[in-house]
Amino acid sequence: MPTTKREQVVFGLMMCFGMVTIMLLFNLYNSGMIGKLSLMEILLQFVICFVVAFAVESILVGPVAKKVAFSLPFDKSNKLVAVLTLSFFMVVGMVLVMSFYGVMTSYFTNGLGGRSILRSYGSAIGHNFLLALPAQLLVVGPIVRAVFGNVVARSKVSA
């Protein structure tokens, strides 16, 4: 896993790319916007969401999740438990913040269809968490760790 600041940035970019792709497509589908938005509008949504997610992960959620996860009493030498614990807290933090971002984006662009912001936010948290946790633990996390591990291993051999 990442050992330098540069590696942490690359790893974070890869993780954000995978999670934003899945979550954006899910939320566009869930809100019925897939057929209504052009490809350029979807790409613009992706870029904006990616930048926001990476900033939130790097500045706020990542440091807090690490602090909380590694303050818990578990065997830190067990890599699987450490990865699962950190991933869980990253997902919780990112879902809380990015669901708020999504609700606010929806509120200012299309409205909330008569629902309150609080109710919309609670619903978004539930829906997003149910997809984000398995996506992180079973799809994006393992793929990014495998690709990142191969890239880092190759770059250290050639260096």
In this prediction, residue 155 carries a pLDDT of 74
Rounded distance between C-alpha atoms, residue 53 and residue 15, angstroms: 10
Q: Can you say whether residue 37 is alpha, beta or left, with left for phi > 0 and alpha for psi between -120 and 50 degrees?
A: beta
Rounded distance between C-alpha atoms, residue 26 and residue 31, angstroms: 9
How many C-beta atoms surround the C-beta of residue 82 within 10 A? 16
In this prediction, residue 142 carries a pLDDT of 96
* Nearest alpha carbon to residue 46 among 59, 35, 37: 37
Residues 44/53/25/88 CA torsion (nearest 10 deg): 180
How many C-beta atoms surround the C-beta of residue 151 within 10 A? 14
In this prediction, residue 42 carries a pLDDT of 94
In this prediction, residue 109 carries a pLDDT of 80
In this prediction, residue 74 carries a pLDDT of 92
What backbone phi and psi angles, to 5 degrees, belong to 133? -65, -55
In this prediction, residue 159 carries a pLDDT of 59
Q: Distance between alpha carbon 38 and the CA centroid of its chain, in Å?
A: 24
- Please identify every stretch of the chain with a pLDDT value under 50, giving residue numbers as ranges: none
Q: Whole-structure pTM over 0.95, yes or no?
A: no
In this prediction, residue 85 carries a pLDDT of 96
Residue type, 148: F
* Nearest alpha carbon to residue 130 among 27, 54, 14: 27
In this prediction, residue 3 carries a pLDDT of 84
In this prediction, residue 80 carries a pLDDT of 93
